[in-house]
Amino acid sequence: MSGGFDTRRFKAMERAGFNRIAADYDDAAHLRASLQEALIAAAAPAPGEHWLDLASGPGLLARAMAPRLAPDGWVLATDIADGMLAHARRRLGPADGPVHFAAADAEHLCLADGRFDGASIGLGLFVFPHPERALAELHRVLKPGGRIALSVWGAAGTVPLIERAQQCIARLLPAPKVPRPSVFRFGEAAYLTATLQAAGFTDLRLEPHDFHCRFADAGAYWDAFLALAGGATEALSRLPAEMQQALRAAVAEDLTDLADTDGYHVPASTLIATARRA
């Protein structure tokens, strides 16, 4: 990525933001439960396998996957935000399966070659400044024939869950000096396909998965955005309190067409991709 984009600063903001929202992210994850279930179904983890969950956040996929790998398999949950992993570890109950944790930048994994049967990335690929490096690392640590399963936001215009908050921010705040990469870029099926193929993956399958979230009021929508947005949430938290309040109030205007009789009905499109290391 070029044009003055500072990847170290970007990663530091993401890490700080996701550490800040770890508990809120976990609490709001039920809004995306159907996506998580669809991704696990596509991944199809089997008993005895070893899985790597990249950008694991509070370990949602890892926790769901672990019982399917037991008793001999396990999942390694990794994330750049150690606070997310600490939260995940606290949430792990005795009935949960075997989950291990390691803080790691997805673009630089300290893991042996050819170690894993499968790897998952839930809503993470678009957060990496160099996704091609993360995919190269996944390719390296997978066994030949190893599987990947990942989810990404849909193309621009299909994810009001994120876009309405972004529109509000763009209306009220000056444009950033250096634009962030779009979180919707991998929602273009051709681009996602080309990126995975360039990283050496084969047997590609893409499945759209759409879901809706219901919010009682615009404030609840704004809270859900803050509980999801990592780096953006960190940047917003550094604004004066009055501006934070102004944004929360103003977002109702961006949601007008999504209002119904008892609040707001906000859609989101995603793509689920599976592939295999050649």
The nearest distance, CB 239 to ligand SAM, in angstroms, is 21
The nearest distance, CB 144 to ligand SAM, in angstroms, is 24
Report the distance separating Cα 103 and Cα 78, nearest Å: 5
Specify whether the CB–CB gap between 71 and 49 falls below 8 A.
no
Is 88 among the residues that bind ligand SAM (CB under 6 A)? no
Q: Which of 49, 107, 137, 254 binds ligand SAM (CB under 6 A)?
A: 107
Helix (H) or strand (E) holding 178: none
Site for ligand SAM in 128-167 (CB under 6 A): 128
- According to DSSP, residue 254 is labeled H
Report the distance separating Cα 218 and Cα 259, nearest Å: 9
Q: Which of 13, 14, 69, 218 binds ligand SAM (CB under 6 A)?
A: 14
Site for ligand SAM in 211-270 (CB under 6 A): 230
Q: Which residue type occupies 114?
A: G
Q: Which residue is nearest to ligand SAM (CB)?
A: 122
C-alpha angle with apex 273: 47 to 34, nearest 5 degrees?
Answer: 75
Is 49 among the residues that bind ligand SAM (CB under 6 A)? no
Report the distance separating Cα 35 and Cα 228, nearest Å: 14
Q: Which residue lies nearer to ligand SAM by CB, 138 or 217?
A: 138
| Cis previous bond, 179, omega within 30 | no
Report the distance separating Cα 101 and Cα 59, nearest Å: 9
Backbone angles phi, psi at 41, to 5 degrees: -60, -40
**Largest interatomic CA distance in the chain:** 55
Q: Which residue lies nearer to ligand SAM by CB, 28 or 217?
A: 28
Q: Which residue lies nearer to ligand SAM by CB, 12 or 259?
A: 12
Total residues contacting ligand SAM by CB under 6 A comes to 21
Q: Which residue lies nearer to ligand SAM by CB, 118 or 230?
A: 230
Q: Which of 28, 31, 40, 55 binds ligand SAM (CB under 6 A)?
A: 55
Is 76 among the residues that bind ligand SAM (CB under 6 A)? no
Output the six-digit token pair for 197. Answer: 């193929």
Tell me which residues touch ligand SAM (CB under 6 A): 11, 14, 18, 55-57, 60-61, 79-81, 84, 105-107, 122-124, 127-128, 230
